[in-house]
Structure 1
Amino acid sequence: MDDFHCRFEISVKVPANWKTAADGFSETYHVQGLHPELLKVFADLDNHQVFWDHVGRSRQLYGVPSPRIRPTPTDQEVWEAFASVYSARAGLDAAAPGPVPAIPEGSNLFEVMAKCVREAQAAKGVDLSEYTDVQIMMMDQHNVFPNITVLLHPDLLSVLRTRPGDTTDECWLDIFNFDRVGASAPRNKPMKLEVPLDSMAFGTVFNQDFDMLRTAQRGLHQPGFSRITLSQEESRILNNQLALERYLGISPSEIEGDLP
């Protein structure tokens, strides 16, 4: 972890309760409806999940299309989706990555994309030669009770923290972004900003997440809302709720059905 240096910290006021915001980054079930462009490059089904008392971890493989998509995306479509998500990691133009590179005989597009990341990082002085292609394309997401999300790649680390706002219908989302740097790189003080939600673009995925949180918070106030049903893909939300019940001394659990 010493190789990761914090590049910036951005605090954004979000129109949702801090627990709602934390839950929004605790599952991948919403990807198919909220981030459809990711499905061309993200295998969103059957992500491996592990649970501890205060932490849930999901491993999410990128570079492989979701089996939900029919017909199967072409290599060019996968390449463009990869560039839109990982342009900074792979040294690509997100809007115009060009044609899919030539794929050597005996190789495949997944290996080519991993090579792009490895070579782009090597140009920055970051050696990823010890990592396999799968490790380079895999994201480990840790959800730490009660309000921390850690997104980890071999060359990139992001930490999301939610905290209460002035009312129960708003919160602060703090985004800490870390880059892996060469061993001799100086440790600079990170840029720190507090910005209004509508004052800047946070990227396609984050912008979609913020829109979702706004409508989700409104939905919590609907008179017919009395309970929520969660899928297995949302087991990390259940794990956080179980941790909350332990802290509050709630026994037996108020959660019905199968538990993680």
Structure 2
Amino acid sequence: QGAHSACGRKQNFVCGYHGWTYNLEGTCTRILDESDWKGVLNDSCTRLNEIKVDTWGGWIWINMDPECEPLRDYLEPAAGLLDQFEFDKMRFRWRQWVVFDCNWKTALEAFMEPYHVEGTHPQLCEYGDFYAWSKAQGLHGNDGFDSKDPNDTSAATTTVTRAGKGPDARKMIAQMQEEFWDTIGASTTPTLVNAAKRLVDELPEGTPAHEVHEHWYESAKRDDAERGVIWPSPDPEQLAKAGLAWHIFPNMSFIPGLTFALGYRTRPYGNDPNKCIYESFALERFPEGQEPETEWVYAEPTEENWKKVLAQDFSNMAAVQKGMRNRGFRGTLPNPHQEQKITNFHRNLARYMGRGSPQLIGKSK
């Protein structure tokens, strides 16, 4: 719990073992019975090791390698496409974590593509089409809504949602926004939900889906402005390039929006390859002074704690881990169109680790 909840201001660090004390520059300022070393101790052997620290998107990024490349260089081209969302102006709505019974890569992959929606979240398919493109972006990757119809050009301009399936886009958008809020608690905001509920009163039946989307967003934007939440004004072409969701190598994935973001992080659980630490958080733009006070909460992986959609994802993860350790497991077959993010992730991870690179089907190892 301490690593998740640590906060405050200190002028020094004190080792809880022998009481050695270090200032904020890493210099050791107190060594108990230092004279016992007969004067051989010096700064080169007692100071703390330096690490690289930088910020982007409101997060603090740490690299233990003092010779690493600059953070901005590492994050490109993702950073250049994601700056428009202004994550640094968002704050936590909630943040939770759990120790889960699968490898960190297994957990991360569960949130790296919408290809699993039909099988895992079938209730969401009632409201929209989740067919997606997926692309490698250097170390990173993104995806966005696509269409199987070559004459459908909406995939080039639609980003956050394809809701509007069915005869009445007004009702479908409203229902999906309520579904997101009730079963995820993220990927939307109360402002967007309320603006969607008004669509049936503000627009006539038969209004084309793209016009419903446009009216809905403009209405929500005005509502937010009235309460002191100012939306960014991204270039539509850049917004389309950003797509729906991102993977930041190696262990972070999130769904960005103009006024919200849903994020996931996974990391190893010590030396146990069958467990991981899984974290999820919801970000949102709030009026200044009205940001909620939150902290990291440990939550067992139940629907009561995580709501329906994330609980559905959890239902797969431990079983997938067991399946991959079965002696009959022959390897995965990622979708070459919709899961390029995952393939790219493993290709880059293999390059770092020196083994395990994905192989083309039909090609010998």
- Structure 2 counterpart of 1:243, from 348, 352, 355: 348
Asked which structure has the greater RCO (Cα within 8 Å, sep 6+), the reply is: 1
For 1:230 and 1:25, locate their aligned partners in 2 and report how far apart those are by CA, in whole Å: 14
Q: State the Cα deviation string for residues 201-243 of structure 1 (Å, max 9, x = none).
A: 3232212111121322232233321211111211111001110
**SS state of the match for residue 197, structure 1?**
coil
Alpha carbons of 1:155 and 1:238: their partners in 2 closer, same or farther (altered >3 Å)? same
Partner of 2:259: 155
- Give the partner amino acid of 1:194: Y
Give the TM-score normalised by the residue count of structure 1: 0.78
Does the aligned pair in 2 maintain the 1:142–1:149 contact within 8 Å? yes
Q: State the Cα deviation string for residues 166-193 of structure 1 (Å, max 9, x = none).
A: 63322211123322234x4477763221
Structure 1 or 2, whichever has the larger Rg, is 2
Partner of 1:103: 203
> Any unmatched runs of 5+ in structure 2?
1-85, 146-158, 181-187
For 1:119 and 1:23, locate their aligned partners in 2 and report how far apart those are by CA, in whole Å: 37
Give the TM-score normalised by the residue count of structure 2: 0.58
Alpha carbons of 1:17 and 1:53: their partners in 2 closer, same or farther (altered >3 Å)? same
Partner of 2:144: 59
Partner of 1:45: 131
Alpha carbons of 1:189 and 1:172: their partners in 2 closer, same or farther (altered >3 Å)? same
Alpha carbons of 1:206 and 1:195: their partners in 2 closer, same or farther (altered >3 Å)? same
Does the aligned pair in 1 maintain the 2:177–2:192 contact within 8 Å? no
Give the C-alpha shift of residue 124 in structure 1.
3.6
Does the aligned pair in 1 maintain the 2:127–2:175 contact within 8 Å? no
Alpha carbons of 1:213 and 1:103: their partners in 2 closer, same or farther (altered >3 Å)? same
For 1:165 and 1:151, locate their aligned partners in 2 and report how far apart those are by CA, in whole Å: 24
For 1:100 and 1:139, locate their aligned partners in 2 and report how far apart those are by CA, in whole Å: 28
Q: State the Cα deviation string for residues 87-141 of structure 1 (Å, max 9, x = none).
A: 63514499xx5883341597633224323532443344212373589959x8631
Does the aligned pair in 1 maintain the 2:189–2:259 contact within 8 Å? no
- Give the partner amino acid of 2:313: D
**SS state of the match for residue 217, structure 1?**
helix
Partner of 1:256: 360
1:43-192 paired onto structure 2 within 5 Å: 43-47=129-133, 49-60=134-145, 61-65=159-163, 72=166, 74-75=168-169, 76-85=171-180, 86=188, 88-92=190-194, 100-103=200-203, 108-128=211-231, 130=233, 140-165=244-269, 167-182=272-287, 184-185=288-289, 190-192=294-296
Does the aligned pair in 2 maintain the 1:8–1:176 contact within 8 Å? yes
For 1:65 and 1:6, locate their aligned partners in 2 and report how far apart those are by CA, in whole Å: 25
Give the C-alpha shift of residue 248 in structure 1.
2.2
Alpha carbons of 1:54 and 1:99: their partners in 2 closer, same or farther (altered >3 Å)? closer
Partner of 2:113: 27
Number of aligned residue pairs: give it. Answer: 248
Alpha carbons of 1:197 and 1:145: their partners in 2 closer, same or farther (altered >3 Å)? same
